[in-house]
């Protein structure tokens, strides 16, 4: 997720763009850049780091001024964060300049074709490919910029919100969107474009939000026109008068970043499997795995090292890898692993999971594993982070920045990546039939829609939260694939509501914890139809007979648990190996609502930090 801003009108564009980028930094903050046309020259200033670094650099470099410009704050998906990979990107001629939020899936094939035509590239980004594709179309078809953008985008697969301008026509900016947001602010003979309205709210409250597959040319002294990218047909203008404030916009209208990020999960999962899950071709494509296939297939075992929620995602992967790919897996707390003098050989593959990519214990575990000759594969959410750079190879989650300290979309996107890897290895090892493989691909593709479905229980979950918000202890129970989800649900509640909660394998209750059960103890039981359903139902009966309060997470339409539990929360049916992607949703919402009702600081809970970079 990146932030884009643009302006064309009668004001000095620089301060508008710079302030606008500061307001969009919550969307991405690993590099920033600005391109302006000062009437004579196109000037671009860009740098790794935050918008403040850009401000310092651009005011020193050259006092760029002018009344047309575009700016970008980056959340890297391709190419590590550095000056060269920062946006804006030029075309080869130096005439065209672009900023982009999204992922171009087919950029490699487009780049190959452009290289054949003599184009050169300075960066590793998909965006630089797009601007040169636009230039190539403009030159070969002899069309104006708007038409060139339209033709080029019809060759692109992926997601984008882009703004492009030509220094030879510095009165207009061409914008287009597919899958990433883009708003147009309409002022008095001036136009603003941005990822959301926060950069222009103080100048105008009149906004148009482009829909997917729409584009527009905003031009001085002209009215804006919206067109369909596919067929150039005109789209009726729908100008909204905005009634929201800045803070609401940054949180996407949600009260907290955590809630926003819970609701971003359908898109985050989609962005994470985009370009990797190719259902029509019935293949999974992951360069980091393909390039190291032998290491994975010849491994004696996979050792997962992680902390916190990432450790829970690793525990889910143990079930997936062993069940589907028949590869032995050990899941280790990185903080324990690094000090217990573990046995590590060159036949081991270590998978390090980390949202921030900066967790000190995980980084130390990686270094220890590498020192013993193991191959280390990283699953991170921050491109170019320390762990991403330290590991031998990896696969990024494309969850976008996770601002809330309590990890939510990172968890589900980590599981998505790990599931893709396990399925790819299972296919390579022949431990899964082609029909079962296809079934998993089809079902994984439907998960974002099923997460949307699970999110619809939000108000029902809020009602349950209100009933149990004053409990002093909670138990979370799950079996099989959902045992790690029980642990994760307990962690979510603990870390934002400060209520003590424990996760347990459901069958473990009879080995002690059942002594805790009484009418003061809410027990959240994950009892979806897949897996050991009947055994979980009998665990529920054991709890009920001891007057425990039962909140069941059940498959849509379940009747048995509904009759036994005090409350049930339904999730759509899916394959057993994919249930964690759905059963975690109600647990995230339950902990969120309880914490809000207890007036806790949901996004920045006490004693916690978003990234634990110390031991
Ligand atoms: C989870 O909600 C917590 N914020 C915490 O446990 C976190 O998962 C842990 O610190 C690991 O962080 P990482 O994924 O950035 O390495």
Q: Angle, to 10 degrees, between the axis of helix 580-597 and the axis of helix 434-455?
A: 20
pLDDT at 419: 98
Q: Measured between alpha carbons, how far is 100 from 469 in angstroms, rounded to an integer? A: 43
pLDDT digits (tens, 9 = 90+) for 409-420: 999 999 999 999
pLDDT at 226: 96
Ligand 1: atom nearest CA of 387 is: 16
So which residues are the catalytic ones? 2, 610
Strand order across the beta sheet in which 393-396 lies:
329-333, 301-306, 348-354, 375-380, 393-396
Q: Angle, to 10 degrees, between the axis of helix 580-597 and the axis of helix 483-497?
A: 20
322: which DSSP letter?
A: I
Please compute the mean of the pLDDT values over residues 423-443 and round it to a whole number: 97
**For a pLDDT cut of 90, what percent of the chain falls above it?**
83
pLDDT at 63: 62
Ligand 1: atom nearest CA of 608 is: 4
User: Which residue is closest in CA terms to ligand 1's atom 7?
Assistant: 308
pLDDT at 587: 98
Q: Which of 261, 262, 306, 310 to mutate to test the pocket of ligand 1 (most atoms within 8 A of CB)?
A: 310
Read out DSSP for 323-378? III---EEEEEHHHHTTS-----TTEEEEEEESSS--HHHHHHHHHHHHTT-EEEE
CA of 407 to the centre of ligand 1 (A): 6
CB contact burial 98-122 (16+ within 10 A = b; e otherwise): bbbbbbbbebeebbeebeeeebeee
pLDDT at 74: 87
CB 355 near ligand 1, within 6 Å: yes
Please compute the mean of the pLDDT values over residues 184-195 and round it to a whole number: 96
CB 495 near ligand 1, within 6 Å: yes
SS (H, E, C) 521-569: CEEEEEECCCCCHHHHHHHHHHHHCCCCEEEEEEECCCCHHHHHCCEEE
Contact 33, 71 (CB under 8 A): yes
Asked whether residue 349 carries a pLDDT value surpassing 90, the answer given is yes
Residue 331 pairs in a beta bridge with: 304
Give residue 243's pLDDT band: very low, low, confident or very high (50, 70, 90): confident
In whole angstroms, what separates CA 435 from the centre of its chain? 29
Please compute the mean of the pLDDT values over residues 112-121 and round it to a whole number: 97
Q: Which domains, and CATH codes, for the chain?
A: 3-248 (3.60.20.10), 253-452 (3.40.50.10490), 456-602 (3.40.50.10490)
pLDDT digits (tens, 9 = 90+) for 15-64: 999 999 998 887 778 899 999 999 888 999 999 988 989 998 887 666 67
Tally of CB atoms within 10 A around 227: 18
Q: Measured between alpha carbons, how far is 591 from 406 in angstroms, rounded to an integer? A: 10
What are the residue ranges of helices labelled H in 142-224? 145-153
pLDDT at 60: 64
pLDDT digits (tens, 9 = 90+) for 125-158: 999 999 999 999 999 999 999 999 999 999 999 9
Give residue 76's pLDDT band: very low, low, confident or very high (50, 70, 90): confident
For residue 179, give the 3-state DSSP assignment.
Answer: strand
- Look at the alpha carbons of 83, 86, 87, 91 in this order and tell me if their dihedral is positive or negative: positive
79: which DSSP letter?
A: S
Tokens standing for residue 192: 């603003």
pLDDT at 128: 97
Burial of 196 from C-beta contacts in 10 A (0-12 / 13-18 / 19+): buried
CB 307 near ligand 1, within 6 Å: yes
Read out DSSP for 408-426? SHHHHHHHHHHHHHHHHHH
pTM passes above 0.75: yes
Please compute the mean of the pLDDT values over residues 454-480 and round it to a whole number: 98
Q: Measured between alpha carbons, how far is 451 from 578 in angstroms, rounded to an integer? A: 11
pLDDT at 179: 85
Q: Measured between alpha carbons, how far is 263 from 24 in angstroms, rounded to an integer? A: 19
pLDDT at 324: 97
Q: Measured between alpha carbons, how far is 345 from 419 in angstroms, rounded to an integer? A: 25
Q: Which of 407, 414, 418 to mutate to test the pocket of ligand 1 (most atoms within 8 A of CB)?
A: 407
CB 258 near ligand 1, within 6 Å: no
CB 414 near ligand 1, within 6 Å: no
Asked whether residue 219 carries a pLDDT value surpassing 70, the answer given is yes
Q: Which of 307, 383, 487 to mutate to test the pocket of ligand 1 (most atoms within 8 A of CB)?
A: 307
pLDDT at 65: 82
What are the residue ranges of helices labelled H in 142-192? 145-153
């Amino acid at each position: 997720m990146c932030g884009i801003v643009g302006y064309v009108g009668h004001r000095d564009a620089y301060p508008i763009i710079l302030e606008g980028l500061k307001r969009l930094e919550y969307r991405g903050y690993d590099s920033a850049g600005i391109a302006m046309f000062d009437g004579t020259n196109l000037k671009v200033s860009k740098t790794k780091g935050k918008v403040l670094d850009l401000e310092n650099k651009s005011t020193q470099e050259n006092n760029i001024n002018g009344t047309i410009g575009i700016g970008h704050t980056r959340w890297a998906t391709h190419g590590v964060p550095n000056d060269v990979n920062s946006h804006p990107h030029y075309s080869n001629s130096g005439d065209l300049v672009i900023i982009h939020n999204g992922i171009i899936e087919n950029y490699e094939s487009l780049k190959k074709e452009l290289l054949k035509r003599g184009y050169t590239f300075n960066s590793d980004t998909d965006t630089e490919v797009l601007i040169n594709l636009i230039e190539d179309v403009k030159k070969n078809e002899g069309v104006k910029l708007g038409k060139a953008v339209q033709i080029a985008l019809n060759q692109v697969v992926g997601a984008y919100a882009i703004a492009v301008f030509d220094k030879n026509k510095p009165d207009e900016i061409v914008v287009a969107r597919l899958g990433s947001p883009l708003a147009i602010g309409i002022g008095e003979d001036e136009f603003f474009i941005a990822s959301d309205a926060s950069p222009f709210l103080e100048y105008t409250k009149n906004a148009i939000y482009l829909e997917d597959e729409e584009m527009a040319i905003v031009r001085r002294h002209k009215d804006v026109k919206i067109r369909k990218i596919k067929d150039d047909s005109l789209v009726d203008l729908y100008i909204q008068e905005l009634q929201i404030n800045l803070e609401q916009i940054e949180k996407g209208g949600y009260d907290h970043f955590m809630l926003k990020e819970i609701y971003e999960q359908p898109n985050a999962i989609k962005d994470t499997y985009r370009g990797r899950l190719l259902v029509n071709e019935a293949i999974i494509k992951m360069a980091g795995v393909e390039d190291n296939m032998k290491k994975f297939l010849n491994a004696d075992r996979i050792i997962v090292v992680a902390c916190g929620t990432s450790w829970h995602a690793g525990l889910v992967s143990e079930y997936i890898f062993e069940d589907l790919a028949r590869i032995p897996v050990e899941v280790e707390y990185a903080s324990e692993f690094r000090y217990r003098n573990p046995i590590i050989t060159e036949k081991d593959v270590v998978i390090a999971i980390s949202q921030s990519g900066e967790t000190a214990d995980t980084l130390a575990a990686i270094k220890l594993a590498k020192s013993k000759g193991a191959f280390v594969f990283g699953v991170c959410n921050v491109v170019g982070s320390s762990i991403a750079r330290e590991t031998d190879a990896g696969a990024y989650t494309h969850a976008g920045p996770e601002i809330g300290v309590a990890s939510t979309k990172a968890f589900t996107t980590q599981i998505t990546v790990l599931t893709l890897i396990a399925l790819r290895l299972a296919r390579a090892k022949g431990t899964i039939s082609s029909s079962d493989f296809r079934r998993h691909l089809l079902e994984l593709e439907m998960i974002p829609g099923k997460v949307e479905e699970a999110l619809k229980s939000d108000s029902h979950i809020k009602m349950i939260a209100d009933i149990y918000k004053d409990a002093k202890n909670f138990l979370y129970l799950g079996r099989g694939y959902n045992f790690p989800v029980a642990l994760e649900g307990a962690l979510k509640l603990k870390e934002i509501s400060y209520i003590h909660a424990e996760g347990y394998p459901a069958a473990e209750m009879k080995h002690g914890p059942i002594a805790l059960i009484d009418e003061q103890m809410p027990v959240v039981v994950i009892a979806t139809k897949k897996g050991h359903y009947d055994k979980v139902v009998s665990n529920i009966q054991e709890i009920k007979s001891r007057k425990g309060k039962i909140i069941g997470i059940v498959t849509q339409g379940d009747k048995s648990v509904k009759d036994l539990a005090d409350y049930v929360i339904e999730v759509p049916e899916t394959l057993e190996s994919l249930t964690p992607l759905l059963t975690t949703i109600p647990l995230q919402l339950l902990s969120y609502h309880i914490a809000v009702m207890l007036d806790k600081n949901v996004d920045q809970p006490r004693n916690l930090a978003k990234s634990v970079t110390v031991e």
